[in-house]
Amino acid sequence: MNSATATPTPADLRALIARHRIVVYRLAAVVGVSPNRLSAMLNEHAPMPPELSVTIERTIMENR
């Protein structure tokens, strides 16, 4: 995952969430998405807008 050149994929975000032991429903509240919708996007059952994936990555990296 290289945020300077590419948008993080759902797999990249799942790994980042796991490494930082983040609770998905709390992350959903911070980024402004329902927990069910975020879970569907992370599990690739729903499309994830590129700007949301960047926001999620930025939020996790800023709050480590």
List average pLDDT for each run of 10 residues in the chain, which is 64 residues long: 73 97 96 97 97 96 87
Q: Residue 4's pLDDT is what?
A: 57
**What does the alpha-carbon distance between residue 2 and residue 11 come to, in Å, rounded to a whole number?**
13
The answer to whether the beta carbons of residues 18 and 25 sit under 8 Å apart is no
In-domain check, residue 34: yes
Q: Residue 18's pLDDT is what?
A: 97
In-domain check, residue 3: no
Q: Residue 3's pLDDT is what?
A: 45
In-domain check, residue 46: yes
In-domain check, residue 48: yes
Count of domains forming the chain: 1
The answer to whether the beta carbons of residues 55 and 23 sit under 8 Å apart is no
pTM of the model: 0.87
Half-sphere exposure of 43 (CA within 13 A, CB side): 8
Q: Residue 64's pLDDT is what?
A: 77
Q: Which domain holds residue 20?
A: 10-62
